[in-house]
């Protein structure tokens, strides 16, 4: 081998070792300054509230501030693209809801970020199942009753979907498909409008997060007929949809996601601290009150969970024939 070629190989190896050393040093001292947590939702929204609860505990664990950076709008694209384009140095992390991580890249023609190449899961915070509700005055007592009623009244049973292509909308379409119900989907701009449609009798069914519907169930105005988790939820005596349609599951979730290339030792630290915090009785109780059920995963398991959820959404969007807009 020519001397010049050997020299280039030696120089390349030296540069690689230097880069590795710098990364290791960075990770060992992390964090030495405040960490920015991007939340692709507005201030006061459920993801923002949960992110701030977690951020407060992480700040105490890290000895550095955790600054919540709200980037709402356009299906979470401003926040997700900002996260994807951030330096992978551990000082920018994202608190990402399921829809922004797996649905937005499928239903927008130009999502401006690629979850496969630009982002990486660091920790799972928890899952957030949905609830199916009908007017309390209706004769529908179960998901099976809903299917029977819909088939007896083709095209006349309305599903009030909170926002087009949202997770509740897709969860409803999954129920519709599983039971061959022929529901007529009416998308609304926001969950409260969909709930109002059911309360007023203009729609037969809506689906949303548990806390948003449970208050109306407890008041006697709505009847809960199913939850979208694989099993019944603790403390809520409502059947899982999977009891009628085996294999059905459509859950929301929250993960801490970082830019691809973030040092593994930093990711491991984030994972360990998030798991410890969400396992505490205090945080478990606070999250449960918001309809979120903490889940402690290893980094590998968190990434596998994201991949599984992403594949499930891809199949569903394809099956429903949803076109990116």
Q: Which domain holds residue 88?
A: 9-128+252-320
pLDDT in tens, 45-68: 999 999 999 999 999 999 999 999
Domain count for the chain, please give it.
Answer: 2
What tens digit of pLDDT does each residue of 280-324 get?
999 999 999 999 999 999 999 999 999 999 999 999 999 888 888
The last residue of one of the domains, among 243, 267, 301, is 243
CA distances to 69, 122, 155 from 93, in Å: 10, 9, 45
Decide if 2 is inside a domain.
no
The answer to whether residues 116 and 134 belong to one domain is no
**Based on the domain organization, do 256 and 124 belong to the same domain?**
yes
Contact 307, 162 (CB under 8 A): no
| Cβ atoms 31, 62 nearer than 8 A | yes
Q: Omega into 153 within 30° of 0, i.e. cis?
A: no
Domain boundary among 221, 243, 265: 243
**pLDDT the model gives residue 11:** 53
Question: Same structural domain for residues 60 and 79?
Answer: yes
pTM higher than the cut 0.75 = yes
Q: Is residue 100 part of a domain?
A: yes
In the block, which residue shows the tokens 């701030």? 52
96 and 13, same domain (yes or no) = yes
| % of residues, the chain, pLDDT over 70 | 91
Task: Note the pLDDT of residue 29.
Answer: 87
In a domain, 154, yes or no: yes
- Our measurement of the distance from residue 272's CA atom to the centroid of its chain's CA atoms, rounded to an integer in Å, reads 20
The dihedral region occupied by 204, where left means phi > 0, alpha psi between -120 and 50, and beta the remainder, is alpha
Q: What CATH code is carried by the domain that includes residue 77? A: 3.40.190.150
Region 147-169: mean pLDDT is: 94
Question: Are 133 and 105 found together in one domain?
Answer: no
CB-CB contact of 321 with 95 (8 Å) = no
pLDDT-derived band at 10 (thresholds 50, 70, 90) equals very low
Q: Is residue 31 part of a domain?
A: yes
Q: Within this chain, do residues 57 and 121 fall inside the same structural domain, yes or no?
A: yes
Query: Within a domain: residue 81?
Result: yes
Q: Are residues 315 and 276 in the same domain?
A: yes
pLDDT given for residue 320 in this prediction: 87
Banded pLDDT at 325 (limits 50, 70, 90): confident
- Confidence grade of residue 21 (pLDDT, cut at 50, 70, 90): very low
The CATH number of residue 194's host domain is 3.40.190.10
Tell me, yes or no, whether 115 and 137 share the same domain: no
State residue 116's pLDDT score. 94
Contact indicator for 315, 300 with CB cutoff of 8 Å:
no
Distances (CA, A) of 1 to 6, 14, 16, 101: 7, 19, 21, 49
Is residue 66 domain-shared with residue 89, that is, in the same domain?
Answer: yes
Same domain? For 203 and 299 the reply is: no
Read off the pLDDT band of 14 (50, 70, 90). very low
Q: What is the pLDDT of residues 64-99, one digit of tens each?
A: 999 999 999 889 999 999 999 999 999 999 999 999
Residues 90 and 121 in one domain: yes
Query: How far apart, in whole angstroms, are the C-alpha atoms of residue 273 and residue 137?
Result: 47
What is the distance between the terminal CA atoms of the chain, rounded to a whole angstrom? Answer: 55
Domain assignment of residue 279, yes or no: yes
Structure-token pair, residue 74:
């356009």
CA distances 8 to 4, 12, 13, 19, 141, Å, are: 6, 6, 9, 16, 74
State which of 209, 243, 277 marks the end of a domain: 243
Same domain, 226 and 309: no
Handedness of CA 102, 103, 109, 110 (dihedral sign): negative
Query: In this structure, is residue 325 part of a structural domain?
Result: no
Considering the domain boundaries, does residue 1 fall inside one? no
């Amino acid at each position: 081998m020519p001397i010049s070629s050997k020299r280039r190989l030696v120089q390349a190896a030296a540069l690689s070792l230097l880069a590795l050393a710098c990364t290791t040093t960075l990770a060992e001292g992390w964090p030495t300054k405040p960490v920015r947590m991007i939340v692709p939702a507005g201030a006061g929204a459920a993801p923002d509230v949960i992110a701030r609860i977690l951020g407060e505990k992480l700040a105490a664990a890290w000895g550095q501030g955790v600054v919540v950076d709200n980037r709402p709008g356009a299906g979470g694209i401003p926040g997700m693209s900002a996260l994807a384009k951030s330096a992978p140095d551990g000082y920018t992390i994202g608190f990402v809801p399921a829809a922004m991580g797996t649905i937005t890249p499928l239903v927008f023609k130009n999502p401006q970020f690629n979850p496969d190449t630009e982002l990486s899961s660091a920790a799972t915070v928890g899952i957030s199942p949905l609830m199916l509700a009908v007017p309390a005055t209706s004769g529908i007592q179960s998901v099976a009753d809903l299917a029977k009623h819909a088939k007896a009244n083709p095209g006349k049973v309305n599903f009030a979907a909170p926002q087009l292509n949202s997770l509740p909308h897709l969860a409803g379409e999954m129920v519709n498909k599983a039971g061959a119900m022929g529901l007529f989907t009416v998308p609304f701009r926001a969950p409260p409008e969909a709930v109002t449609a059911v309360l007023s009798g203009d729609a037969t069914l809506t689906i949303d997060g548990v806390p948003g519907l449970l208050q109306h169930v407890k008041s006697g105005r709505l009847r809960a007929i199913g939850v979208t988790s694989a099993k019944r939820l603790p403390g809520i005596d409502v059947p899982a949809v999977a009891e009628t349609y085996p294999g059905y599951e459509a859950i929301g979730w929250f993960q801490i996601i970082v830019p691809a290339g973030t040092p593994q030792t930093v990711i491991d630290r984030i994972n360990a601290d998030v798991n410890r915090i969400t396992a505490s009785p205090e945080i478990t109780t606070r999250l449960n009150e918001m309809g979120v059920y903490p889940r402690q995963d290893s980094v590998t398991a968190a990434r596998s969970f994201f991949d599984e959820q992403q594949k499930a959404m891809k199949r569903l969007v394809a099956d429903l024939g949803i076109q990116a807009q």
